[in-house]
Amino acid sequence: MNNFTFYSPTYFVFGKDEENKTGEYVKRFNGSKVLIHYGGGSVIRSGLLDRIKKSLDKENISYVELGGVKPNPRSGLVYEGIELCKKENIDFILAVGGGSTIDSAKAIAAGALYDGDFWDFYTDKIVTKALPIGTVLTIAAAGSEGSPDSVITKEEGMFKRGATGEALRPMFSILNPALTQTLPAYQTAAGVTDIMAHLFERYFTTTNDVEVTDRLIEALLITMINEAPKVIKDPNDYQARANIMWAGMLAHNNVCGVGRSQDWASHDIEHELSATYDCTHGAGLAVVFPAWMTYNMKHDIKRFARLATNVFNCKMDNDNPESTAKAGIQALKSFLKSIGMPLTFDEIGAKEEDIPAMAHSACYGNKRTGTLGGFATLTEEDVINIYKLML
Ligand code: NZQ
Ligand code: ZN
């Protein structure tokens, strides 16, 4: 295991009706003038936004609103939010929604305290200062409610890139699983896929002797495989929703990633798909991951065989571990298909002729330096080959 530091100070508030205490938590973290940030309207339709406003009113906290965050959030609204914060002297940002809304809120929080262009953070600058953020989560997926990361798409060039910095971890996150019961099945399944992807990105490591995090990852993956079919069958299954929601947080606040190298090439490869075709991030990952696994299995066949046996219940073939590894990838594909996820380019509207441009952007766009991945180092040519496996 490698040396590490880990500080994850977010205050989590979990369970039924807890969103009605939002005002109390904003006050606890010294918010007096709040920007409420939300997406395309699900929080209006569900009545959640009204409940949040009532809870702020109860604590005499004033607020302004900025809605309209799109999935795969864009830089345009971030610039608007930064201006609004400066004009209104905002001292706290409250994100009500999913990963896209939280990421947009984080970008605004960083940009509001920075003299330059906020996009610098999505190129190579670490975020060290940001307005405090709180979240009320409505979908289990991105893990942004506990992560120090934010992913934004810059409209000029359509670069989808991440920023990071401990200052981006939310002060508090309110997780009521019941709020996720209104999700369409496709979004639920895409969320499950994203959670699993965050675990795979950490599982595929070059660090030896990381049994504790290996076991945590395996446990969370098994949980997703067991719980996801329950919520696809019955969207109102509160207990299954609860297990998925907490797993989503644990998968990405890095408790499972400390002390080990991680990969993240699949996310970079997917971000080109969601930037180019505006597909749902989790659905893009369902297409990318089996292809990435097939291409990179050769780098550590034992690790792939371990995933197959420990998570997907495949039988170990000691004479031919490659066949066990392949059976694991096949089991992953069957699982993804069973929850309604796509597996090919066609199914997400992606086109073969765009492969060279996407591979180039993934490896060199927005000042990148040529290779991707911490488990297997991928060149532009490797990335092209991986995209081709998705056709
Ligand atoms: O915009 P509204 O109307 O709210 O609708 C959303 C949106 O259309 C809808 N939705 C959310 N909660 C709902 C609901 N509909 C009904 N009932 C509810 N309770 O679902 C759609 C998707 O929402 P979005 O916020 O985009 O989902 P998600 O949480 O999957 O976020 C995806 C974004 O997160 C980024 C992805 O790249 C993508 O841009 N990621 C962020 C990470 C991070 N910050 O740490 C890590 C991830 O790897 C990921 O890259
Ligand atoms: Zn993700």
At 94 the pLDDT is 98
Number of domains, the chain: 2
Cβ count within 10 A of residue 31 = 26
Distance CA 198, CA 257 (A): 9
Ligand 1 binding residues, C-beta < 6 A = 39-43, 71-72, 97-101, 103, 138-139, 141-144, 147, 149-151, 179-180, 182-183, 187, 191, 194, 252, 267, 281-282
Tell me the pTM: 0.98
Task: State whether 303 and 207 are in the same domain.
Answer: yes
Helices (H), 234-258: 238-252
Task: State whether 108 and 223 are in the same domain.
Answer: no
Nearest to 314 by CA among 322, 194, 197: 322
Distance CA 164, CA 168 (A): 7
Residues of the chain with pLDDT under 70: none
Task: State whether 112 and 44 are in the same domain.
Answer: yes
Say which CATH number the domain at 153 has. Answer: 3.40.50.1970
Tell which atom from ligand 1 comes closest to the C-alpha of 150. Answer: 44
Residue 26 contacts residue 61 (beta carbons within 8 Å): yes
Cβ count within 10 A of residue 87 = 9
Classify residue 294: in a domain, yes or no.
yes
Task: State whether 308 and 348 are in the same domain.
Answer: yes
- For CA atoms 249, 275, 38, 110, the dihedral sign is positive
| Of 179, 207, 222, the domain-final residue | 179
Classify residue 223: in a domain, yes or no.
yes
State whether residue 277 is helix, strand or coil. helix
Distance 14 CA to ligand 1 centre (A): 19
Name the DSSP letter for residue 235: T
Task: State whether 324 and 376 are in the same domain.
Answer: yes
Distance CA 69, CA 361 (A): 24
Classify residue 4: in a domain, yes or no.
no
**Domain around 123:** 11-179
Backbone torsions φ then ψ of 145, nearest 5 degrees: -65, -20
Tell which atom from ligand 1 comes closest to the C-alpha of 71. Answer: 26
| Of 179, 204, 227, the domain-final residue | 179
Nearest to 197 by CA among 298, 299, 281: 281
Residue 326 contacts residue 296 (beta carbons within 8 Å): no
Task: State whether 165 and 204 are in the same domain.
Answer: no
Classify residue 3: in a domain, yes or no.
no
Q: How far is CA 20 from the centre of its chain?
A: 25
Classify residue 110: in a domain, yes or no.
yes
Nearest to 62 by CA among 97, 25, 23, 101: 23
Beta strand 159-164 pairing with 149-154: antiparallel
Residue 258 contacts residue 213 (beta carbons within 8 Å): yes
Paired with 14 in beta bridges are 175
Name the DSSP letter for residue 74: B
Interhelix angle 265-277/355-364, nearest 10 degrees: 130
Task: State whether 16 and 144 are in the same domain.
Answer: yes
Paired with 134 in beta bridges are 94, 172
| Of 129, 147, 179, the domain-final residue | 179
Distance 264 CA to ligand 2 centre (A): 9
Residue 147 contacts residue 198 (beta carbons within 8 Å): no
pLDDT in tens, 115-169: 999 999 999 999 999 999 999 999 999 999 999 999 999 999 999 999 999 999 9
Distance 48 CA to ligand 1 centre (A): 16
Beta strand 11-14 pairing with 149-154: unpaired
Question: Whose atoms come closest to the Cα of 99: which ligand?
Answer: 1
Tell which atom from ligand 1 comes closest to the C-alpha of 42. Answer: 3
Q: Mutate which of 51, 139, 288 to test ligand 1's pocket (most atoms within 8 Å of Cβ)? A: 139
Q: Which residues surround ligand 2, an ion (CB under 5 A)?
A: 194
At 3 the pLDDT is 98
Tell which atom from ligand 1 comes closest to the C-alpha of 198. Answer: 48
Task: State whether 22 and 161 are in the same domain.
Answer: yes
Cβ count within 10 A of residue 226 = 11
Distance 17 CA to ligand 2 centre (A): 27
The CA-CA-CA angle for residues 13, 148, 259, to 5°, reads 100
Classify residue 1: in a domain, yes or no.
no
Q: Mutate which of 10, 42, 65 to test ligand 1's pocket (most atoms within 8 Å of Cβ)? A: 42
Distance 319 CA to ligand 2 centre (A): 35
Distance 271 CA to ligand 2 centre (A): 9
Distance CA 5, CA 349 (A): 42
Written as one letter, the residue type at 323 is S
Written as one letter, the residue type at 354 is D
Task: State whether 174 and 221 are in the same domain.
Answer: no
Classify residue 226: in a domain, yes or no.
yes
Task: State whether 151 and 166 are in the same domain.
Answer: yes
Task: State whether 293 and 346 are in the same domain.
Answer: yes
Distance 185 CA to ligand 2 centre (A): 18
Task: State whether 17 and 48 are in the same domain.
Answer: yes
SS3 content of the chain, % helix, strand, coil (to 5): 55, 10, 35
Say which CATH number the domain at 345 has. Answer: 1.20.1090.10
Residue 271 contacts residue 151 (beta carbons within 8 Å): yes
CA distances from 84 to 63, 99, 134 (A): 11, 21, 18
Return the HEC string of 17-29.
CHHHHHHHHHHHC
Classify residue 2: in a domain, yes or no.
no
